[in-house]
């Protein structure tokens, strides 16, 4: 009918008006997706500062790590104090100091003080185990050649029916005599001055060596070795005794 608006026409007009208002409200505003895209771009600019302002001659490239490995925290650094500490164990011997520094350079975790303490513990265990005839305790502390020598001596003693009575009194001195790094293997020679009460008895119980009532001063020169050539090798902290000799 003329002068009247068809119902369907009215509905179409309302939909059109709503669409225009909706479009106007959206224009000039950022959606969540836009914000996410802008944030991603900002992060990329931080990671690659050289590309953040392409075309600008005022862009400054910040230094960044090419490697993705995390920095090792607490790794020893040869500061002046550390240098002094290493030289104290060298006791003025530059050759020994050079050897310790070479070992430390390849294995930053190496500490001469910790080594000396560990060597003293190993010395006591080895001396005590040898006296007791405990071959099993010696296996992880001795090289193959030294182990063969120690076990042979124990076997010969047992074959003679002899036994050792021993009391480890203590270590008076433990000094580094030599230190070297050769083909990725660290070798350190120590002088131990210890005190023992020891006596060897035969089958009949007669004392054939030593004195169970006296403290004997004993000086030994031992060389310890450890492979530090690779990261895998360095993961094993154990040193092995590779040579022994009596002090003259």
pLDDT at 244 over 90: yes
Mean of pLDDT values over 133-160: 96
Q: Is residue 190 part of a domain?
A: yes
The SS3 of residue 107 is coil
Q: Is residue 145 part of a domain?
A: yes
Q: Is residue 11 part of a domain?
A: no
| Complete DSSP assignment for 156-167 | HHHHTT-EEEEE
Q: Is residue 184 part of a domain?
A: yes
The secondary structure of residue 142, as a DSSP letter, is B
Mean of pLDDT values over 91-106: 96
Reference 221, options 173, 183, 156, 150; nearest CA is 173
Rounded Cα–Cα distance for residues 119 and 136 (Å): 19
Which residues, other chains included, contact 215 with Cβ-Cβ below 8 Å and sequence gap of 6+?
Answer: 169, 195, 196, 197
Contact 198, 166 (CB under 8 A): yes
What confidence score (pLDDT) does residue 57 get? 33
Q: Which domain holds residue 124?
A: 82-246
Q: Which residues of 83-113 are buried (b: 16+ CB within 10 A; e: fewer)?
A: eeebbebbeebeebbebbbebbeebeebbbe
Q: Is residue 7 part of a domain?
A: no
pLDDT at 106 over 90: yes
- Tell me the pTM: 0.68
Site of tokens 């925290």: 73
Burial grade of 119 (CB within 10 A; 0-12, 13-18, 19 or more): buried
pLDDT digits (tens, 9 = 90+) for 4-18: 555 555 555 555 545
The secondary structure of residue 49, as a DSSP letter, is G
The two three-digit tokens of residue 140, written as one number: 């992880």
What confidence score (pLDDT) does residue 12 get? 54
Reference 239, options 230, 227, 221, 229; nearest CA is 227
Domain count within the chain: 1
* Residue with more model confidence, 2 or 207: 207
* Residue with more model confidence, 247 or 100: 100
Q: What is the largest CA-CA distance in the chain?
A: 142
CATH number for the domain spanning 174: value is 3.10.450.240
pLDDT digits (tens, 9 = 90+) for 175-211: 999 999 999 999 999 999 999 999 999 999 999 999 9
Q: How confident is the model at residue 82 (pLDDT cuts 50, 70, 90)?
A: confident
- The helix or strand, by DSSP H or E, that contains position 208, with its residue range, turns out to be strand 207-210
Lowest average pLDDT, out of 37-51, 61-75, 211-225, goes to 61-75
């Amino acid at each position: 009918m003329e002068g009247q608006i068809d119902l369907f026409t009215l509905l179409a007009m309302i939909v059109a008006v709503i669409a225009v208002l909706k479009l106007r409200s959206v224009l000039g505003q950022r959606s969540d997706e836009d914000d996410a895209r802008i944030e991603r771009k900002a992060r990329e600019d931080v990671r690659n500062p050289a590309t953040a302002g392409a075309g600008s001659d005022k862009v400054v490239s910040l230094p960044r790590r090419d490697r993705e490995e995390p920095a090792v925290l607490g790794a020893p650094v040869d500061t002046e104090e550390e240098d002094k500490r290493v030289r104290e164990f060298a006791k003025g011997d530059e050759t020994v100091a050079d050897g310790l520094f070479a070992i430390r350079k390849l294995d930053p975790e190496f500490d001469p003080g910790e080594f000396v303490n560990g060597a003293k513990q190993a010395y006591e265990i080895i001396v005590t185990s040898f006296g007791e005839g405990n071959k099993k305790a010696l296996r992880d502390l001795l090289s193959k050649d030294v182990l063969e020598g120690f076990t042979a001596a124990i076997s010969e003693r047992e074959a003679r029916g002899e036994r050792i009575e021993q009391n480890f009194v203590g270590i008076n001195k433990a000094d580094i005599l030599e230190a070297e790094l050769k083909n990725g293997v660290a070798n350190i020679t120590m002088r131990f001055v210890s005190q023992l009460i020891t006596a060897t008895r035969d089958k009949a119980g007669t004392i054939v060596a030593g004195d169970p009532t006296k403290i004997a001063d004993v000086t030994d020169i031992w060389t310890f070795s450890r492979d530090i050539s690779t990261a895998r090798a360095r993961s094993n902290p154990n040193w092995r005794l590779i040579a022994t000799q009596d002090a003259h």
